[in-house]
């Protein structure tokens, strides 16, 4: 089983839609979880951390289910500028580092 698995997509959604991405991870000892965003030919950038209680940042909501080893990202009211690849990220072991990246889910928001 891969360390971090994501549906590669692409997800093609109209502006204003709500879209959800899921991710599963294999190491039950992982302690920290993140979503990163990567634009074409750019470096990955931190979108948000994922906390056990779930957390929200504007239109973005992240959820963690430790029992199922599952992470999700919900984007509400999609904007054209949300088009990117979203990377699910977990720590490799029980420490804070290093981080293991999923291969990403590609999102295209269409006008």
DSSP percent split of the chain into helix, strand, coil, nearest 5: 5, 50, 45
Nearer to another protein, 19 or 88 (CB): 88
Q: Which residues pair with 34 in a beta bridge?
A: 49, 89
> Using only C-alpha atoms, what is the Rg of the chain?
13
Tell me the closest approach of the beta carbon of residue 77 to another protein, in angstroms. 25
Residues that bind another protein (CB under 8 A): 32, 34, 42-46, 49, 87, 92, 96-104
Tell me the closest approach of the beta carbon of residue 65 to another protein, in angstroms. 20
Q: Which residues pair with 73 in a beta bridge?
A: 21, 62
Nearer to another protein, 40 or 111 (CB): 40
């Amino acid at each position: 089983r891969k360390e971090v698995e994501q549906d590669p997509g692409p997800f093609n959604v109209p502006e204003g839609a709500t879209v959800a991405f899921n991710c599963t991870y294999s190491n039950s000892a992982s302690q920290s979880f993140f979503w990163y965003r990567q634009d074409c030919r750019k470096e990955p950038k931190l979108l948000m951390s994922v906390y056990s209680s779930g957390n929200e940042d504007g239109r973005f909501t992240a959820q963690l289910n430790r029992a199922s080893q599952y992470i999700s990202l919900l984007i509400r009211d999609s904007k054209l500028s949300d088009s990117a690849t979203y990377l699910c990220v977990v720590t490799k072991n029980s420490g804070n580092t290093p981080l293991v990246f999923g291969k990403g889910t590609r999102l295209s928001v269409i006008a």
